[in-house]
Chain A
């Protein structure tokens, strides 16, 4: 573990990514304590509508006089909890399916991988939008729709790893000494295939924040007055071009957060996958 961490600490972009992720995580946890006007998540102040950025309101105020700086900070919690929920659920579906499909042969394995291919063959956003609409739009259905469209990525990865590992010598050795299937799969194959899953999950967190923002933007996710970044951008469109600050800062928040997860994910991939030549 130690040499890995040392290697990661030498990877400057990855460290920047880690710093951003930790920063956003802190905002998500302590947001209400950090934000200068935490009550602006819900309450409105019509006397100070659409003020440009100033010392009092760093990112300006929105159409209801709420401090955008505070709302961007408060939005971190929503964005991260959506992303964490979606990726966790997707892993809970995708990883077991990948293990079964990879370790077993025959029709069950075939069926799982066929279904995986089909779901992968539809662009995620389109499928998620269709699902979210059919289940009557809300934050919960948006999360469910995103999970239901993201699991195949994990199945693919775990399937490939399991196939590779179950053909390897040490699994034969384990069978030879009488280890049961459950023991081999859960104690040996799963831990050995977990690192690409972690890499995918890290990148998936950033990706999910991006797609969830699209859903929020289209009004299929968070509902007002939630300080959701995507939703805020949608609300700001009516007040353009006058209130440029209204649309700019929530978008930057999305950009920086997603970039953080991507940089960290890329760094982790370089660490765990020595097969990819390090061409940085």
Chain B
């Protein structure tokens, strides 16, 4: 078990190093002068030269790379040109909001998607299957930013059921920050009204973000269950008189979700990327809206830090997926 985990981690290390190199090249292969960009339009040549020296843009490239590695190791990503605060601090403050949104979306996709996928497989080539297949085809093809706006249009602007944007109604007092997850903080503070308000704010962005994943999960679960249902052990256990639903939910599902777990891992990356736009539309105070702001203002330090963060999270999720695979199918661990 431990060996399995360590091996997986070792496999990820070259990818992380590559990520560092790619991000470094991204910043340095650009033909524009970073010092001039930092100094702003009104800077004199002397100021630019001083900045260049201060940031070490004039030293040889390998020295710059090692300085860059050193900074990354200390989680020092400099200052955001927009908020004038250390990027690391900004990210730490905004990360919980993004995690909250991502996990809610992921939970929605999984807890709705897996049962629907099983339902489709059990009704193979009957109407629930057709409906679900059509819906999942649509779900994958929808542009999240469009869905977000359409949902805002319908539920916030026309019906007035849910808030348009943000994390909490602005007139409502923020609960003290304990975990950083607003919904949980409201509960810790015992503020029932704020909790409900926060959930209402969470609803539309989470639903928007979950749709693409939901479609993928329905699809893969359905295919997996269909495959498993054709195996001999299912036939045998049915003949032995196992209750059908129990058989499906326990034995068939466990043997069918390997592909789905892989998809959930891949989805995580997609969710973070999709969250960029969805957060921006709903004014969600997380990493995504921070990224969009950085992109629109050309804030390189922020873009660099976010790319590294996302890449690292993605690698971590991949290890996790392998682990879950190993737990679901212990044969995999023994092969190593």
Question: Within B282-326, which residues are at the interface with A (CB < 8 Å)?
Answer: 291-292, 295-296, 298, 300, 303, 306-307, 310-311, 314-315, 318
Asked if residues B15 and A118 are in contact (CB atoms below 8 Å), the reply is yes
Q: Is B142 an interface residue (CB 8 A)?
A: yes
Q: Pick the most buried of B26, B152, B269: most chain A CB atoms within 10 A of its CB.
A: B269
Partner of B14, one of A114, A218, A220: A114
Minimum Cβ distance to chain B for residue A235 (Å): 12
Asked if residues A233 and B310 are in contact (CB atoms below 8 Å), the reply is no
Asked if residues B146 and A247 are in contact (CB atoms below 8 Å), the reply is yes
Partner of A241, one of B21, B137, B157, B296: B157
Binding-face segment, B38-46, B239-247, B270-278: B270-278
Asked if residues B143 and A122 are in contact (CB atoms below 8 Å), the reply is no
Closest B residue to A241 by beta carbon equals B157
Asked if residues A219 and B296 are in contact (CB atoms below 8 Å), the reply is yes
Minimum Cβ distance to chain B for residue A231 (Å): 12
Inside 8 A of B226's CB, which chain A residues have their CB?
279
Question: Within B1-58, which residues are at the interface with A (CB < 8 Å)?
Answer: 14-15, 18-19, 21-22, 26-27, 30, 32
Asked if residues B274 and A247 are in contact (CB atoms below 8 Å), the reply is no
Q: Is B150 an interface residue (CB 8 A)?
A: yes
Inside 8 A of B30's CB, which chain A residues have their CB?
134-135
Asked if residues B307 and A217 are in contact (CB atoms below 8 Å), the reply is no
Asked if residues B227 and A118 are in contact (CB atoms below 8 Å), the reply is no
By secondary structure, the A interface counts as helix
Digitize B249-285: 1 where CB-to-A-CB distance is under 8 Å, 0 elsewhere: 0000000000000000000011011101100100000
Inside 8 A of B143's CB, which chain A residues have their CB?
210, 213-214, 217, 230, 233, 251, 254-255, 258
- With the chains together, A122 CA to B296 CA distance in Å? 20
Asked if residues B277 and A122 are in contact (CB atoms below 8 Å), the reply is no
Partner of A247, one of B149, B273, B298, B307: B149
Known: A129-B295, A218-B292. A121 touches B19 (CB 8 A): yes
Q: Is A7 an interface residue (CB 8 A)?
A: no
Q: Pick the most buried of A129, A230, A251, A263: most chain B CB atoms within 10 A of its CB.
A: A129
Inside 8 A of A105's CB, which chain B residues have their CB?
none
Q: Pick the most buried of B18, B138, B280, B292: most chain A CB atoms within 10 A of its CB.
A: B18
Listed by A's residue number, 11 A-B pairs whose Cβ atoms lie within 8 Å are A114-B15, A122-B307, A122-B311, A122-B314, A123-B270, A210-B143, A218-B295, A237-B149, A247-B146, A247-B150, A256-B141
17 further interface pairs, Cβ-Cβ under 8 Å (given A13-B137, A126-B272): A114-B18, A118-B18, A121-B15, A121-B314, A121-B318, A130-B26, A130-B295, A217-B277, A218-B292, A230-B143, A233-B146, A233-B149, A247-B149, A251-B149, A251-B150, A259-B137, A277-B227
